[in-house]
Amino acid sequence: MLTAKGQVADRVKGLKTGAGDYPVKPFNSDELLARVTALLRRIHKADLKPVMRIEFGNVVAEFISERTVDVQVVWLRQKLEDNPQSPKHIITVRDEGYRFEN
């Protein structure tokens, strides 16, 4: 949580409601980066379990893999792009994901 509310009661409330940290503005960018790095260190990838099924309303996706999103993007490009091999709307952002441009 990032906020300008710096009173002790505000910070306590934020942390109790699920915030992993509570830096108050104004803050130093180096300190913020250090806080984010510290939070990321707390995540143990071994504790994460792969998702095999996702349900959203009436939609069910079975066998979710690392490539599921990529396959869906390929299908979307085939439907939306004039030339799916050279997309102009659904752009791949390396090491990030995808960006939609109108």
- What are the domain boundaries of the chain? 8-44, 53-100
How do residues 1-37 score in pLDDT, each as one tens digit? Answer: 677 888 889 888 888 988 878 888 887 888 888 888 8
Classified by CATH at the fold level, domain 53-100 comes out as: Arc Repressor Mutant, subunit A (1.10.10)
Q: How far is residue 62's CA from residue 66's CA, in Å, rounded to a whole number?
A: 13
pLDDT at 91: 94
Tell whether pTM > 0.75: no
pLDDT of residue 100: 92
Quick one: pLDDT at residue 26? 82
Q: Are 19 and 26 in contact (CB under 8 A)?
A: no
Q: What pLDDT does 32 receive?
A: 84
Express each pLDDT in 45-102 by its tens digit.
667 677 778 888 898 877 777 788 899 999 999 999 999 999 999 999 988 889 999 8
As a whole number of angstroms, the distance between CA 96 and CA 55 comes to 24
| Cβ atoms of 62 and 52 closer than 8 Å | yes
pLDDT digits (tens, 9 = 90+) for 29-61: 888 888 888 878 877 666 767 777 888 889 887
